[in-house]
A and B are shown apart, each in its own frame.
Chain A
Amino acid sequence: MKSIKLVNVTKSFGFDLILKNFNLEIPSGKFFALLGPSGCGKTTVLRMIAGFEEPDHGEIYLGNTNISHLPINQRRVNTVFQNYALFPHFNVFDNVAYSLRVKQFSQDEIEYRVAKMLKMFGLEQLKYKSVRQISGGQQQRVAIARAVINEPDVLLLDEPLAALDMRLRERVLVELIELQEELGMTFIYVTHDQTEALTVADQMAIMGKKGQIEQVGTPKEVYEFPKSTMVARFVGSTNILHGNLEFEHETLYLYLDEKNRVLVPMVGNWQELLKQDRVYLSIRPEKVELSKSPLIGFTNHVVGTVSAIIYHGRSTQYNIALVNGTVMQVFEQNEEHFPKETIDYDDVVNVYWQTENSVLLKS
């Protein structure tokens, strides 16, 4: 159980600069998710921690040891590969036992520890089955068992659920969380799927397209208080309003156009943003209230026309075209079979939200 620290890491493949002065600290014993769009370099980060790639510049620390150029087989780090990379000519037992055999443990020790691992993952019945004969979910358990039997300081998971169907994915996510709590290892989970990351992570980092870190924090911090429009858009869905910021009568306003303005929370570095031409405001669709009749108690109010209605089952998504052309998404819980007011296409509706539920963004 050790932390991972990347200091000023630069990595390029040929002429492609993947990471430039990349810094990241991953706390020990936590479930850490590295989230980013495909091609942002998150897999490269993982491969450098595992040792499959060496950084061009900069250092990688495991605990206090510099492991930047340590050979792969000497790192106390193990990987669960995206396609599992199970040895096809070995059976389940031999796959799980591989790292123990490599380390020349005694036969009894191997039998004992593999049996314990197989029991933990519910694979006892498949002990002598070829890995080609078992299902995708079972293969995945074998891959995880094979990686954790070695008791590494850090377990790396490279999009481990990509090959599973959705229902199985939800179950495995919960199992992974339980496994991490049980083993207490540092888990680093790389994914481009924000729901997976939000579900499993204690801490998460969001990477941008150019390989830079956009934000680090708990899933709640990242979701509720994104630091940029990129993060707000990438994690969950959101509405971004833009305009210029004005400070009038001790109140902060965002002018969408000449006439329409909304209230903005006065937190953080808003004073600096006053100088900026264009600022952004993020409001999550579920934090918005929709009504044909006027409601009281809300600090913000805009009017728009319904341009699309998408039924999701537990909620319905309404797209509202505002006067200035911006389209806002709104999620309404489908709480009742027979709602009091039905909203239809082209209806003129009132859109309400509380000022403190919106986030002011610089970019």
Chain B
Amino acid sequence: MFEEFKKLIKSETYFFLITPAYMWQIMFLVLPIVFVVVLSLSAGQGAHLVQSFTLQNFYEVFQLSQIRIVVRSIVLASTTAIASLFIAYPVAYFLALHIKRFKFFFLFLLSIPFLINVLVQVYAWFFILEKNGVINHVLMMLGLVEKPLNFLNSYFAIYLVMFHVYLPFMIMPIYSSLEKIDTRLIEASYDLGASFRTTFWNIILPLSMPGVQAGFFLVYVVSFGEYVIPSLLGGLKHFFVGTLISEYFFIGNDWHLGAAFICLSCGILFISAILYYVFFNKITVRSKVIR
């Protein structure tokens, strides 16, 4: 079996079969990245190159106001990821280990958000949050407020909707890694005299860590560059990385500065992701120590 596989790798058939995949990767991943890096290191109008090599774009981008936007995005992404982790874990836990009947139904409910476009979800929130929306209506009826509150165009709206949209992305990987845990391991832990706390901390948590990490980085990275939610619910006041990049490219028409900003924010995202990764590894190592 393995020998045959080796032979296949050497053969021409394999080469022709793998070529489309490589082409796809080069065309739509490698080339755009190279393109962005080249743009960031040059100057000119739109996509045109005037000056071949310059660091001027980075000088401009490295300003406090720009860095502040990157940090704001990191705070948004971290908050979304951490908040959804704390809500998603219990949900995934009960779904995977406690619910025996109607499991399929609950999984179906969980997958509904995946079937609906983010844009549609955001517009649904519009109707809930707007001045004549559901929440204000209820508050008025109960006499809790005199005049309708303004929920839209605020950080509150952005954080709330981000949390809602990305929660399923956190639940699914955690659910699948919890589901894979052999329940006999949990029984064995109790059998050996462990309490629920010990069992959770030393057995269940470390074994579900791959799912936690997958979910966390999925939500963290995607919400870092989120464009739709902040621009629709935050109005024009609240800039994040995604909105600023689109501003550079489509309104300012300064592709070179935009590309430099992309490089900067990617770098910061990368570093912060590594820090989180180290943090998760520390948790995994510490959760093996029985106390």
User: Interface of A with B (CB < 8 Å)?
Assistant: 50-52, 71-74, 77-79, 81, 83, 85, 87-90, 94, 98-99, 101-103, 146-147, 150
Contacts and interface: CB of A to CB of B under 8 A. Distances in A.
B184 A102 contact: no
B191 A102 contact: no
Given A88-B207, A89-B288, A94-B288, A102 B198 contact: yes
Given A94-B288, A98-B290, A101-B290, A85 B190 contact: no
Of the four ranges (under 10, 10 to 19, 20 to 34, 35 or more), the interface on chain B belongs to: 10 to 19
B193 A85 contact: no
A102 B187 contact: no
Given A99-B193, A101-B290, A102-B193, A89 B206 contact: yes
Given A98-B290, A102-B194, A85 B188 contact: yes
A325 B207 CA distance: 61
Contacts of B207: 88-89
Contacts of A79: 187-188, 191
B190 A73 contact: yes
Contacts of B132: none
- Residue among B182, B206, B290 with the most chain A CB within 10 A? B290
A196 B222 CA distance: 57
B192 A146 contact: yes
B263 interface: no
A146 B190 CA distance: 13
Contacts of B189: 87, 98
Name which of B182, B190, B191, B195 has the most chain A CB atoms within 10 A of its CB.
B191
B184 A81 contact: yes
Contacts of B193: 73-74, 99, 102-103, 150
Contacts of A73: 190-195
Contact of B188 (A74, A87, A101, A103): A87
Contacts of B192: 73, 78, 98-99, 102, 146-147, 150
Contacts, number: 64
Decide if the interface of chain B is mainly helix, strand, loop or mixed.
helix
Interface in B209-268: none
A102 B194 CA distance: 6
A40 to B, nearest CB: 20
B185 interface: yes
A87 B290 contact: no
A292 B193 CA distance: 65
A90 B192 CA distance: 15
B118 interface: no
Contacts of B185: 85, 87-88
Contacts of A81: 184, 187-188
Given A50-B191, A81-B188, A87-B188, A102 B290 contact: yes
Contacts of B194: 73, 98-99, 102
Contacts of B290: 98, 101-102
A87 B187 contact: no
A83 B182 CA distance: 10
B233 to A, nearest CB: 42
